A = this chain, B = another copy of it.
Amino acid sequence: MKFSTEKFGGNETQRNETLFTLGNGNLGFRGDTEEKAGTFHKGTYINGFYESESILYGESAYGYAKNHETIVNLPDPKRIELTLDSIPFNLEDTGKIKKYLLTLDTQKGSLERITEWNGGSRSIFLRSERLVSFPHEDTAAIRYSVTNTSSKDVQVGLKSFIDVEAKNILAKDDPRIGAKFRHEVLQVRQENPQAFFARTVNSSLSLAGTCSHKFFLGNQSLDFDGEKNFCLKSGETFVLEKYISYVWQKDGDALSLKQMSSDSCKKALELGFDRLLDEQKNFLAEFWKVALVQIEGDRASEEALEFNLFHLLQSASRNGRASIAAKGLSSEGYEGHFFWDSESYACPLFTYTFPLVAKSLLEYRARILPKALERASVMNLKGALFPWRTISGEETSAYFPAGTAQYHIDADIIFALNKYLNAHEDDLGFEKKDVEELCAQTARMWLSLGHFSKSKDGAFCIEDVTGPDEYTAIVNNNAFTNLMARENLEIAIKRSGDKASEEEKNEWKLAAKKMYIPYDDETGIIPQDDSFMDKADWDFKNTPKENYPLLLHYHPLVIYRHRVLKQPDLVLAQFVLGGRFTLAEKIRNFNFYEKYTTGDSSLSHCIMSIMASVCGEREKALEYFNKTARMDIDDVNGNSRDGIHTACMAGSWMSVVYGFAGFSDYGGKFSFNPQIPSSWKKLKFSLALKGSILDVTLTHDAAEYSLRKESAGLSLRHRNVEFTLGAGEKKTFGLAPKLKALLFDLDGVITNTAELHYRAWKEMADREGLIFNQEINKRLLGISREASLAVILEANKVVWCKEKREKACYEKNERYKELISSLGKDDILPGIENLLKEAYDQGIMCALASSSKNAPAIIKVLGLEKYFECSLSKPLDFSAGIKAKPQPDIFLNAAESAGVWYTDCLGIEDARSGVCAIKSAGIKACGLKSSGDDVSAADIIFDSTKDLSLEKLKKLFG
């Protein structure tokens, strides 16, 4: 794709410099122009090349991170200055610019700038092409050609050099932009304008830079030593080719480094610009072969994804010496640090599109393991504690409550490693000893961090930690952290080989087994941490728009003590550990946390998008996706000038693949549950998996899975159907919903037990001298026995002790069961038996969706066993955390017992809470008005059961 703009100047220039960045994972050039004038911030970076400086604390304490580390803005090798009849060619002189076109080509891997300049009687056409070579990590090149388009000859002044005056941006108070140095960072020795040697003062990194040139005037090749004045005749063109090589080392010596740089530059010169371009194209072709995502019907998103993936490739180190910075190689925001983003956002993407990058990112962690071991020791922990933010491997987070306290980074790394190994173990080897060591040392960390808590029945608890959502800090049992720690331990048990004894592994097993996961029994919510449910809600209503992101407008203590999220911690856990949770649990938690999530972090929306997809809310998923996918390309947050948002970019791919395509890989089992947005026509993408390349093509009607010829074969699952594919094979599944199961509420739908309930309650109430009437009875529709009693007691303004309540429920139920036994065929509501028969005949399953523990007994008394066999053989397991309506659990469970995918089901209900439950489950709802309750949210509504028509219900499925 070609991404281009004709705009420049002011904010446009600032943003463009970021968006048109070129990089190869090692070396990065911001998209600033060769000329100095009219640029915002000229940036040249090497991934992992940083300077450190002691952190000044207002108040320091033991074990605080010692040093800042900041990516260094290097001498600028792109610099070319041009004068035309002694007038500087100058983009600031906007009146003279007749045309301006900047184009980033993601297939060619190059940046082209075309400028038509008209200085009165003189005019030129300037074309500058630039590449940062993917195959040669030290190398970049520029081709700068100018044609005299005027009728007069022009005297040209041309200078090309390396500008050693480049400096880092002076950051202000926003921690997302960067920090300023208090000292001169680089000691530079420049022997001539085309070469330099530099060393950082504190981190002792050495860098040698060289550039060489080729120069052509017309067809003539001429010498160029950095400066030339010549006459460019009317219609004539000159071309300056500039070859650049930047080589760095820790403690490298000047002589050899300079030699390496000069050799490398010479090699580039010999290859020439066109050859470098060809190599670039070939490299990218290899990348796009798998990485390309095609979206018919949404060109903007398709373009955004290609843009994002290209920038990610440009940002990610492939040499194991670095990782992927929060802002890639496009600027100095977040100081060029590597966070958990690398493993949690970028790794999944590269694992399935360009595994060698994922491997390199993980190798970087293996490389800094010694420092993680040291850090753990400072923190009084065993094993390894990886730094929250770093370049060199040292912890550099100056605010430990949102830094070092994020121990989850250990688990994030191991989880990403495991994902990679699950996807490629047999194909792309990772050093086994590194895997084992990483697994063992992180597991050790968890064991020493947590403890078996007496006050929580011996559960393994982890206290005083911070989860990914930094809007709470230093909390106990952050659910994300504990869930991921358990994962880490379980992976370590499997993958640490003989780096840990059986005894140690048994300890890990015990901790994993006893891992404490907060749970709120009343709501079925997994609280973000131990005290999350205690917090006061954030006052969203009185928070003006301009006060977002909250972290820039409220003191941390204000944010911490309220229920408000920057990014959704637990929702993220339910995404990455998808296989650990039921769909109902995901829906419940997603709906709960969405209310409190500000999305103040750019890492938030993509996760919300994925989980909206998972929960069947694809239009909401698309909304979140749009905020994610075009974050930089549209400069949504107005801060793209400070650098791209790499995690957000990776998140856009995840939103498509894990979200819309419903890809799931938890535990090394690969499945899909696709549901593309209604505005999309087709989605096509590919995954590299166990030596195969899988192409997935999704429309609204069908999902097609095919393996390329060179593949090895794969076992997959589409929704609840398992299948295998051999090389070159293809398998297609229909996606159009089809009525395959009816899910029946019991009371008021199959039979009218409501009257029996009423009688049983009434008798109890009379005995106890409580008021009970139809008014109160109405409020009991569809709620549990315990909840019903609570309603009755509340209506009577009476408080009973638990024992008395239990006794009353028990007695009411005993009486109810007696009443049930008096039911018979005649009590089946009109029309129901017909409907069941018809469905039975057409092979449509029927299942019970009732929270009543007496449901199976009633079905038997009514003589309807035949139709509800699936429900009777698999009765509801109430101990499994199933929540009553309006929660979706009971309907999703019914669909599962029927063995039918829930989107092919239809639920029938006469109660409002029941209809809510069906809709919340993403199932089509049929409402009956007969109970008098409001069922207007249903997709189809009948007055009573006798009006039910299978034909009409089937029509709902188009």
Report which A residues bind B (CB closer than 8 A).
Answer: 55-65, 68, 173, 175, 378-380, 397-401, 403-405, 449, 451, 453, 455-456, 461, 463-464, 473-474, 476, 530-531, 533-536, 551-558, 560-561, 803, 806
Nearest Cβ distance between residue A58 and chain B, in whole angstroms? 2
CA distance A77 to B536 in the complex (A): 57
Given contacts A456-B534, A474-B401, contact A60 B175 (CB under 8 A): yes
In the complex, are the beta carbons of A474 and B476 less than 8 A apart? no
- Which 3 pairs across A and B sit closest by C-beta, in order of nearness? A58-B398, A63-B555, A464-B561
List 24 A-B residue pairs with CB atoms under 8 Å apart, sorted by A's residue number: A55-B58, A56-B57, A57-B398, A58-B64, A59-B397, A59-B398, A60-B173, A61-B399, A61-B551, A61-B555, A62-B554, A62-B556, A63-B556, A63-B558, A404-B557, A461-B534, A463-B535, A464-B557, A464-B561, A473-B474, A474-B560, A476-B531, A530-B531, A531-B531
- Which single residue of chain B is at the shortest CB-CB distance from A476? B531
When A401-B401, A463-B531, A560-B464 are in contact, do A553 and B58 touch as well, CB less than 8 Å?
no
Chain B residues whose CB sits within 8 angstroms of the CB of A400 once the complex forms: 555-557
Task: Give Cα A533 to B455, complex, Å.
Answer: 7
* A476 vs B463: C-alpha distance when bound (angstroms): 13
Hey, which chain B residues are within 8 Å of A555, CB to CB? 61-64, 378-380, 400, 404
CB <8 Å contact, B62 and A68? no
* B60, B380, B451, B554: the one within 8 Å of A554 (CB): B380
**In the complex, what residue of chain B is closest to A65 when comparing beta carbons?**
B58
The CA of A175 and the CA of B474, in the complex, are separated in Å by: 22
Cβ distance A917 to chain B, nearest Cβ, rounded Å? 24
If A58-B398, A380-B554, A451-B536 are given as contacts, then 4 extra A-B residue pairs at C-beta distance below 8 Å, sorted by A number, are A401-B474, A461-B534, A464-B560, A474-B560
Taking CB atoms, residues of chain B closer than 8 Å to A464 are: 557, 560-561
Find out whether the CB atom of A556 lies under 8 angstroms from the CB atom of B61: yes
Cα(A404)–Cα(B62), bound, Å = 20
Does A57 contact B60, Cβ atoms closer than 8 Å? Answer: no
Judge whether B453 and A536 touch: CB under 8 Å.
yes
B405 touches A557 (CB 8 A): yes
Cβ–Cβ < 8 Å partners of A175 in chain B: 59-61
- Report yes or no: A534 in contact with B474, Cβ–Cβ below 8 A: no
CB distance from A848 to the nearest CB of B (A): 29
CB distance from A62 to the nearest CB of B (A): 6
Alpha-carbon distance between A531 and B474 when the two chains are bound, in angstroms: 12
* Contact among B64, B552, B803 with A62 in the assembled complex (CB-CB below 8 Å): B552
The docked-state distance in angstroms from the alpha carbon of A918 to that of B552 is: 58
Which residues of B are found within 8 Å of A551, using beta-carbon distances?
61-62
- The answer for the CA separation of A463 and B537 in the assembled complex, in Å, is 12
Q: A65 CA to B380 CA in the complex, in Å?
A: 30
How far apart sit A789 and B535, CA to CA, in the bound complex (Å)?
38
> How far, in Å, is A477 (CB) from chain B's closest CB?
8
Q: Pick from A55, A463, A555 the residue with the most CB of B within 10 Å.
A: A555
Which residues of chain B are within 8 angstroms of A65 by Cβ–Cβ distance? 58
- Contacts A400-B557, A473-B474; A58 near B62 (Cβ below 8 A): no
Report Cα–Cα, A455/B537, bound state, in Å: 12
Complex Cα distance, B529 from A455, in Å, reads 14
CA distance A555 to B397 in the complex (A): 14
Residue in chain B with minimal CB distance to A172: B60
CB distance from A180 to the nearest CB of B (A): 11
Q: A68: which B residues are within 8 A, CB to CB?
A: 58
- What is the distance, in angstroms, from A908's C-beta to the closest C-beta of chain B? 35
Q: Which of chain B's residues have a CB closer than 8 A to the CB of A535?
A: 463
Residues of chain B within 8 A (CB-CB) of A379 are: 555, 557-558
Complex Cα spacing A556 to B380, Å: 11
Contact B463 A399 (CB under 8 A): no
Provide the residues of chain B in CB contact with A561, threshold 8 Å: 449, 463-464
CA gap between A60 and B551 in the complex, in Å: 11
